Amino acid sequence: MPRIGDPAPSFTAVTTQGNIHFPNDYQGKWIVLFSHPADFTPVCTSEFMTFAKMEPEFAKLNTKLVGLSVDGLYSHIAWLRTIKDKIEFRGWKDVEVKFPLIEDITMEIAKMYGMIQPGESSTKAVRAVFFIDPKGIIRAIIYYPLSLGRNFKELKRVLIGLQTADKHAVALPADWIPGEDVIVPPANSCGVASERMAGKEKDVYCKDWFFCMKPLPKDELELEAELV
């Protein structure tokens, strides 16, 4: 199973949008790679409709969505057509899933990414989410069981948080959302610690020498998408 900080394992796969070479086809983009247990299941259907509705928001964050299950291509196609033609959820209808859904009948990719959790199911992938940066490095991993649909506000918050931390060289406190104050890196010398505690570093305020924060207004994040 790959870990945070590892290069995303590469593979070639058949998808509902044609063949892909992962992650090479997505160089320069963030990727949210996620698995679901099975086609034609209600929780997965609700999730795919939500991903599809949010795809433009992820696109504004320079992010591509890629789904996976251990079902075959024709099952995928039939299920996605059923979603568009028949399913209504939260007032959404005629929802078209345009991002690729990987066929993984052999479970080779799912096993490569640790998506098969035998204690949960040996024949279905759990609801795994891998956040992969533009250099192809895994930056965060979230797992959900078969019975629990994902929190999409949190998925988007994680993505925005990773991008914010990278761009501004900061860390983010518990429950952070865009517009809230951020944590500056710890002081690397006694002198810097003293200056911060004395209020000499612009816009930085400290709770103690190791816990200092600063404002990061929402407009400085240059985000076109809001948290839903």
Point out the residues that are catalytic: 44
Bridge partner residues of 64 (DSSP):
31
Query: Do 23 and 136 form a contact (C-beta atoms < 8 A)?
Result: yes
The CA-based angle 95-22-145, given to 5 degrees, is: 60
Whether 196 has a binding-site annotation, put simply, is no
Task: Supply 165's token pair.
Answer: 């931390």
Using CA atoms, how far residue 127 sits from 43, 87, 92, 113, in Å, is: 10, 21, 22, 12
Cβ–Cβ under 8 Å, residues 169 and 183: no
- Residues paired with 65 in a beta bridge: 32
Separation of alpha carbons 99 and 102, rounded Å: 10
Strand boundaries in the chain, DSSP class E: 11-13, 20-22, 30-35, 63-69, 101-103, 127-132, 138-144, 182-183, 205-208, 211-214
Known binding residues are 127
Known binding residues for substrate are 127
